[in-house]
Amino acid sequence: MFQGIGALAVYVTDKERAKEFYTSVLGFEVVADLGPNLCFLKSNNGEIDIYLEGGMKPVTADSQTSRVGFFLRAEESAAATFAALRKAGVRLLQEEPKVVDDNTACFQLLDPDGNIVDVCGPR
């Protein structure tokens, strides 16, 4: 029935603030900026598309809330990515990445609107 994910939709209150975070901090690039409340972003390797829509009402979410999330694969180790994001002032939900198997560690961060983004990378 489905062949893959076309784009990840991220709904935010302020598109410009979110666009700045997803580009400057997380490294995505703008593909199309379509007015005050809509833009499309792409990861630097071209494998991840994000549909970013502003003008939405904020919702409180935490790691125990039922939600749809997405995992970003880190280019470097989870620990190095975690450290870089911490240094950049990103709100992290754990004190350190959690080891999930022999080769992988994961952690969660919050975007400026409180959307949870899961990150996994090599140990």
pLDDT at 67: 72
Q: Could you tell me if 73 and 51 lie in one domain?
A: no
List the domain range (segments joined by +) for residue 23. Answer: 6-56
Q: Could you tell me if 81 and 119 lie in one domain?
A: yes
Instruction: Give the CATH number for residue 32.
Output: 3.10.180.10
Q: Could you tell me if 42 and 74 lie in one domain?
A: no
Q: Could you tell me if 78 and 120 lie in one domain?
A: yes
Q: Is residue 84 part of a domain?
A: yes
Per residue in 59-82, pLDDT tens? 776 667 767 778 899 999 999 999
Whether the pLDDT of residue 93 is over 70: the answer is yes
Q: What φ, ψ does residue 115 adopt, rounded to 5°?
A: -70, 135
Q: Which residues contact 72 (CB under 8 A, 6 or more apart)?
A: 26, 48, 117, 118, 119, 120
Whether the pLDDT of residue 96 is over 90: the answer is yes
Q: Cα(11)–Cα(47) distance, rounded to whole angstroms?
A: 20
Type and span of the H or E element at 19: helix 15-20
Q: Could you tell me if 122 and 79 lie in one domain?
A: yes
pLDDT at 61: 67
pLDDT at 23: 97
pLDDT at 70: 84
Number of domains in the chain: 2
Task: Provide, rounded to the nearest whole percent, the portion of the chain with pLDDT above 70.
Answer: 97
Q: Cα(17)–Cα(53) distance, rounded to whole angstroms?
A: 11
Model-level pTM?
A: 0.89
